[in-house]
Structure 1
Amino acid sequence: MSTNFVELPSARHFALKHCTLPKISVNGADDFAAREGLIKADLIIADGKVDQILPYGSADATLPAADLRDGMVWPCFAELHTHIDKGHIWERRRNPDGTFMGALENVKLDREANWSADDVAARMEFSLKTAYAHGTALLRTHLDSLPPQHRISFEVFSAMREKWKGRIDLQAVALFSTEMIFEPFFDDLVQVIRDHGGLLGGVTMMLPDLDAQLDKMFRTASDNGFDIDLHVDETEEREVLTLKKIAEAKIRNGYEGKVTVGHCCSLARQDEETAKRTIDVVAKAGLSVVSLPMCNMYLQDRHTGRTPRWRGVTLFKELTAAGVQTCVSSDNTRDPFYAYGDLDGVEVVREAVRILQLDHPLDEAARIMTRTPAEIMGVADRGVIAEGGPADLVLFSARRWSEFLSRPQADRIVMRNGMGIDRSLPDYRELDPLMDK
């Protein structure tokens, strides 16, 4: 017997009646009246696409139909910032004190000892099965790219991208310390990124030659047509102002590609005047900011025997108000940087609303895992529900925000190309052979 809250018709042409949709994630919904950012509509699905978005209750009564009884319908999730190359290593390489430095050290030890192509592929596959079952259709991962790992992991990633084509669209970012940008290794890394259609990334730090590092990064990206995605200011140290330096470098170099910055934690530790100056230049430069609320609450302000004094996240509301594109994502899953997580877009939205206080009102909350990250990734049509667009949808029994945010939505239905998928999650026992190393 099915455990779904509603049965989908087996026909290729059918109606989803009495739906509740987040207006911010629907194209062509200007004429629909919204309450808390939610609108009522009927959806007509035909040949794997959203054929029509109709007024509530107006679908042709002769069509096969599923009555959602006001249940929510979202576009599939877009994960802008993940690390599926290091995911699920917790059982063999834990972080004993839960600190950032402990995470760095233990990931390094595990990478050097275990990250063969087979090991990385098995853990990536497990992560993608999980994300797909939860309703993700678009995912960007950072790949640890210290030599020789850059050549191993990008090869595995390209194979995964081809294998998962049509289920999850994948993007990859090279992750390395930008201190290494003047070393001979960097030329080889650029070649690998070019060969595999990746993005240029990196971990930036406040060092004396940071401006020179950034200038070379932006020149390299311009010369090769790369977009940039950086780890920035993942620290509680208020004097760290790398974010402002990056924005200034983008302007200084006349760089025209997309620049995404993740974390930006120290911004929330700075005085109002300093933070405002940084936010102004970030907006002027057109940077996009992704907050990783679950991972940053786990790592930031962690001191033995002391309760944390702050939430670890960036100034999300202030950045958004300044016109900066902002979104959230999962970040790490079950590794030394974050011991938990399941690449579940619902969990990320629920926790982001709590941690960042994105409620009161909730009108645009849905965009943070749908429309905005998809736009940042350059695949704007994947983060919305639109007539003529793919019927890649997530259906919920929850009718209102309070219902949606109060339960994990375990009975959700994920539709791809107009059909429900098998939502069975992979068993952690599949990873047991890797944990015996």
Structure 2
Amino acid sequence: MGAATEASEPVRFKCVALPGVGGAFDVDIAGGRVRSITPSLSGDPVRLLLPAFIDLHLHADRAYAQGPRRARSLEDAVEQVEAVKRAATEEDIFERACKLFRRASAHGTTRLRTHVDIDPVVGWRPLAAVARARRQFEEVLDVSIVAFATAHLDPSSAIGRRTITEAVAGQADMIGTVVPFHEDPTVSLNALLDIATELDVGADLHIDERAGSGYLEELADACLTRKMHGRVTASHCCALATTPPADAARTIDKLAEARMTVIALPALNLHLQDRGSITPRRRGITPVREMLDAGVPVRFGSDNVMDVFYPYGDADPLEAAFLASITAHVDDESALLRGICDGRSRVEEGMEADLVVIEASTWNEAIARRPLPRTVLRRGRRVTVERSGQR
């Protein structure tokens, strides 16, 4: 077992700070829920109690699998990953996914979403391996799997439709693809949404990751036409940052109308966007503040972890929040928390006790230092992660 929860017993956290309110509090946990929150008489807080993290964009099948050299661009990373994928056995992928899940759990994540490649190059190895790792960690992590149709599997083709359908019938919970990688991106985009509608699953698409790409508005229009409100996620959306302001505003309004979640991925996009022989001029992140102002749900994900695409990272949502604050100038604590807790930003009486305790007295200190270890609760039970998962 890579991680487990201890027996359920009442827990009291004394003299903790809570997000969004001043002062120190004593928080009682029982029966898997927050039973009471009362002002503390024990002095100033030295720990911060937060909702547990929810990381909505990872690649568990690729984590820790690095290429022969650092990727020089997104296109170079895509080219390098082919050899890595071909060489990986199911056991390799399983071990890497378990390592990623241990790290995510140790950082305070209790729910995550991972894209898993499906295509003729890898067959069913990644999906089988990540599904097995999910079962290994089911006590401490809710893992949602996106069947990710790569450049080798066009959703508009007969084999693409059949493979995606089989993936959902097996282990996948959602479906996705990289829209511009296919011969006719518009046709592929619509085909994927048609499959999602037929199978009654959500869709999470990598879209407009390259500057100059422009399919996000098409995606919003297609979702509105199909009445897929709240069922579709758009990840990356970097190109929108270089779109003329009036066009960007129109697209953002459509995203809000479609209730589409946008996942910004500051670490990976800072690393690869505008990468070349000179210092990059672009920040590589979607217009987060404009989206928040328009009511678009914006989340911040970890994306790749120590792999071909990104050689760093540790599946720590606090790092994603820190980078979002720096790159997008999101200074609002509640917006950053909603971004890494899937819409939650408070600890309240009656809520399910998925919580994380940070050894910091304020939110600012928490994202500045990102201290470890952390106390993690899953439905009121303390999570323990085996020593090999700690650093």
Q: TM-score, normalised by structure 1?
A: 0.81
What letter matches 2:12 in structure 1? A
Q: What is the CA distance between 1:208 and its match in structure 2?
A: 7.8
Report which stretch shifted further, 256-265 or 79-88.
256-265
What letter matches 2:114 in structure 1? T
Specify whether residues 390 and 277 from structure 1 end up closer, same or farther in structure 2 by C-alpha distance, changes over 3 A only. closer
Spell out the pairing of 1:209-358 with structure 2 (5 A cutoff). 209-237=184-212, 240-256=213-229, 258-304=231-277, 306-358=278-330
What letter matches 1:241 in structure 2? G
Query: How far apart in 1 are the matches of 2:8 and 2:176?
Result: 45
Q: What is the CA distance between 1:411 and its match in structure 2?
A: 4.2
Q: CA RMSD in A?
A: 2.6
Task: Give 1 or 2 for the bigger CA radius of gyration.
Answer: 1
Query: How far apart in 1 are the matches of 2:100 and 2:196?
Result: 29
> Is residue 130–residue 425 contact of structure 1 (8 Å, CA) maintained in 2?
no
> Is residue 140–residue 383 contact of structure 2 (8 Å, CA) maintained in 1?
no
Are 1:410 and 2:369 matched, yes or no? Answer: no
Q: What is the CA distance between 1:206 and its match in structure 2?
A: 8.4
Q: Give the structure 2 partner of residue 151 of structure 1.
A: 124
Query: How far apart in 1 are the matches of 2:280 and 2:370?
Result: 26
2:338 maps to which of 358, 367, 378: 367
Partner SS, residue 18 of structure 2: strand
Q: Give the structure 1 partner of residue 36 of structure 2.
A: 52
Q: What does the per-residue CA deviation read over 1:299-337, in whole Å, with 9 as the maximum and x for residues that have no partner?
A: 001112x10111100000101111111010100001111
Query: How far apart in 2 are the matches of 1:151 and 1:125?
Result: 18
> Is residue 129–residue 425 contact of structure 1 (8 Å, CA) maintained in 2?
no
> Is residue 299–residue 342 contact of structure 2 (8 Å, CA) maintained in 1?
no
Partner SS, residue 180 of structure 1: coil
Query: How far apart in 2 are the matches of 1:426 and 1:333?
Result: 17
What is the count of residue pairs matched by the alignment? Answer: 383
Q: What is the CA distance between 1:296 and its match in structure 2?
A: 0.2
Query: How far apart in 2 are the matches of 1:11 and 1:121?
Result: 29
Q: Give the structure 1 partner of residue 3 of structure 2.
A: none
Query: How far apart in 2 are the matches of 1:150 and 1:370?
Result: 33
Query: How far apart in 1 are the matches of 2:163 and 2:120?
Result: 9
Q: Give the structure 1 partner of residue 4 of structure 2.
A: none
Q: Give the structure 2 partner of residue 107 of structure 1.
A: 81
Query: How far apart in 2 are the matches of 1:125 and 1:78?
Result: 17
Q: Give the structure 2 partner of residue 398 of structure 1.
A: 360
Query: How far apart in 1 are the matches of 2:373 and 2:139?
Result: 24
Are 1:21 and 2:4 matched, yes or no? Answer: no
Q: TM-score, normalised by structure 2?
A: 0.90
Partner SS, residue 426 of structure 1: helix
Are 1:43 and 2:65 matched, yes or no? Answer: no
Partner SS, residue 332 of structure 1: coil
- The unaligned stretches of length 5 or more in structure 2 are 1-6
Query: How far apart in 2 are the matches of 1:418 and 1:208?
Result: 49
Query: How far apart in 2 are the matches of 1:266 and 1:44?
Result: 46
2:156 maps to which of 182, 190, 201: 182
Report which stretch shifted further, 384-393 or 339-348.
384-393
Q: What is the CA distance between 1:154 and its match in structure 2?
A: 1.7
Partner SS, residue 306 of structure 2: coil
What letter matches 2:175 in structure 1? L
Partner SS, residue 250 of structure 1: helix
Query: How far apart in 2 are the matches of 1:49 and 1:330?
Result: 28
